[in-house]
Chains A and B, each alone.
Chain A
């Protein structure tokens, strides 16, 4: 089966609609960023404290907000929102804003306390089973089991506690069980132990999945690192390509990558997605991937130029693009398939990451054809047009170069 045998589309002739489309998208992205007052930053760059909790039922966002507002323990704004990823069922994200480190630590502890006060059973003497750690559970059970005449060595106790918690944490329960009898399938379980659990513990309706706190110092550092990594990566690639091809090809490739990054960020803003350190990782991967595409086309152009010195650059480029079209579509298609799988099934933690990859692959593929090559084309046409309009005193050397400059250097 072959889809693109000997095609002959005039890609570079039709470049204008795509360039205009790119410009429109870029402007739309910037407009969106401007209107929303900046990009949505994740905690990595924004700083602050963040707690993700999973509820046994759809979380009552208003009730949670009210609880935090009433408690007065936390200085600054508290944001409460749920996740848009369908795999994050009943999960809620509670965030406090960035303040200096000491206060931030207090805020973070206060978040746990307010949740416990609102949804837990702080008055009772029981252990919160949904949020217990292994040592806490073992401690609690040790004396209680002794009193219930269930013989157990220290080692057995720890293993039992660990097994119970493992059972609680694996999907589909993922931290929430609704009844202690669900634990009967845990190895070593019996009804006496379940009774003890019922007496000593209660099941809070929420389970804290993760907490994060990023102080202003670390936030600033991460922002710097993100910027440096991006700049250095782009720079490194420019150097490598300028080394393997002519410098204008390097510039064209870098501009195309830059364009990809800008549009992807714009799309992030348009779709209200969050930017975190992993998103930067995705963006840099995209830059690498877009370079790949561009290089494949440039390689072909260089190879074709070796054999056709008289042909105008535009038609050589067109031929190169057509020849590599099959490969480009296949590769993009296959990579796109894997990335879409990540986006659909990869879960909420990777959501922004896979979104960046999905957008980036689409944009990256078309930028190699419709942005990178035209730039090189424009440049060569511009520099080659000048001798024709130059005054009589133009050097002979310039006049001789009626054909593109590329061949001389392409034979490297």
Chain B
């Protein structure tokens, strides 16, 4: 009786091959094998070394900045409409919780002008709620929905900006993402594998990105040396050399001589967006603040035909020619493509961090600790594995071989799953693999003990094996389900290393149901099908 032996064997072999492929692809050499292995099995921060930083975006600063700006504009409006007032204040903020309480207080509006005041505010500032304290004093607060939008927008922009800045570290793998329930938490998680110098990472994140518009004196030059050579080795007073941000590959460097003091900075810019002009050429439009606008107007008026450069974090992102006086809104033209325009508008918008950050948690692990941990984990794993194999072979004789094969396949499936799911292997994850070895063997023990019992009651070998497997089945399911339930909660509530542990243990146990039952049974059946009358089973 073949009992679909061929079909089952094929399934097992195919599974094995798929798993092995998942772990090491098709290596053509020993070195490639190691390479592929390292590529497919991703190591967590605690094994590879790296930094894990949890920041809280101080959204209250953005809300206050918005209130401050509104106050400025309101003052202008009141002046225009000849409405007098005594004082205007915005509340102070310290912690994130203060964001919800930012209030703009206007005092001393004459009662006679109150209706004009109210209608003006209602018209111009629809996203604020105006409340009267008494006949002359008022408070303004952002509407809840607008407040929520502002806060989440701030966090998104911060994530963008931080991501941009971290890019400068040139890491292959990194992650910057929003963390925690959006709307109630303003946290950003930054993970930098391989960066064990968190001071550098903090520096980059924390720097207020400097966005400046400077006037271009001369350029482009092919290199810094060429520029210096042309100027006779010394730069003129009040100038500096800045490099153009390299775009794509194959382009040479470009350096420009620009004014040291910027004409306007990012602080004065608002609302940049990409657009097309009347000739369908790409440009970036932006608005300026009052103050910035005035300054820029004076500068552009005096410099029509000259060029200006947009400098972000000490690199030029674009050079444009001044076409006319620009006062409160302007356009940067001469951009090559939509991508350039969109990029530039993104820089203008997110060039500077919209609010400060505070560090809530930081863990940096040097690569030496990671290397040590891997080393120790492997030794412990091998020791445990050898001990288990020896005991199984001694106690269950030839059937022990069966169990060891199932165990080997289990480990292979486990590693393959880690590779295919792009799960991350952490140190507790390795411990999880070691623990899986112990627990996986449990299923085999259950089955073998049952088979022994059935043999003792005098059943034939084939019947004993069959009954052993079927009786043990539900117990195996029960025991695995409880541990999986436990790990499911660990996965939900845990972070990083603990999550890694839960993942490897769960995958190991699920794989175990397959290997301990299906594979073991197939091996037994294969053995039994080869002999006519098996009087004794080596177990």
Contacts and interface: CB of A to CB of B under 8 A. Distances in A.
Interface of A: 1-3, 5-6, 52, 54, 87, 101-102, 105, 108-109, 112, 133, 135-136, 165-166, 168-171, 173-175, 207-215, 217-218, 222, 225-226, 228-229, 232-233, 236-237, 240-241, 244, 277-278, 280-281, 284-285, 287-289, 291-292, 295-296, 299, 323-324, 326-327, 330-331, 333-339, 341-342, 344-347, 349-350, 353-354, 357
A170 B371 contact: yes
9 contacts: A212-B363, A237-B485, A281-B501, A334-B392, A336-B438, A338-B434, A341-B380, A341-B387, A350-B428
B478 A299 contact: yes
B377 interface: yes
Nearest to A222: B495
A324 to B, nearest CB: 8
6 A-B pairs with the lowest CB-CB distances in the bound complex, closest first: A347-B376, A288-B483, A335-B438, A338-B384, A288-B486, A175-B368
A345 B383 CA distance: 8
Contact of B359 (A105, A281, A339): A105
Contact of A291 (B200, B387, B483, B489): B483
Given A135-B197, A169-B366, A229 B361 contact: no
A124 B445 CA distance: 65
Interface in B42-74: 46, 49, 54, 56
B487 A353 contact: no
Interface residues of B, number: 80
Interface stretch (B305-313, B446-454, B525-533): B446-454
A46 to B, nearest CB: 13
Contacts of B376: 87, 345-347, 350
Contacts of A284: 486-487, 489-490
B276 interface: no
B379 interface: yes
A149 B200 CA distance: 30
Contacts of B441: 331, 334-335
Contact of A339 (B438, B475, B486): B438
A172 to B, nearest CB: 9
Nearest to A330: B445
Given A175-B368, A334-B388, A341-B383, A350 B427 contact: yes
B428 A353 contact: yes
Most chain B CB atoms below 10 A, which of A52, A170, A346: A346
Contact of B493 (A226, A236, A289): A226
Nearest to B49: A169
A210 B365 contact: yes
Contacts of A212: 362-364
A1 B384 contact: no
Contacts of A350: 373, 376-377, 427-428, 431
Contacts of A108: 362
Contacts of A330: 395, 445, 449
Interface in B8-32: none
Most chain B Cβ neighbours within 10 Å, of A210, A287, A295: A210
A354 B376 CA distance: 13
Interface string B352-395: 00000011111111111101110111011101110110011011
B475 to A, nearest CB: 5
A208 B366 CA distance: 7
A2 B439 CA distance: 20
Nearest to B471: A303
Nearest to A158: B170
A337 B482 contact: no
Nearest to B382: A341
B435 interface: yes
Given A102-B358, A285-B487, A344 B395 contact: no
Which residue among B361, B376, B394 has the maximum number of chain A CB atoms within 10 Å of its CB? B361
A244 B475 CA distance: 11
A1 B390 CA distance: 13
Contact of A215 (B360, B364, B434, B481): B360
A228 B493 contact: yes
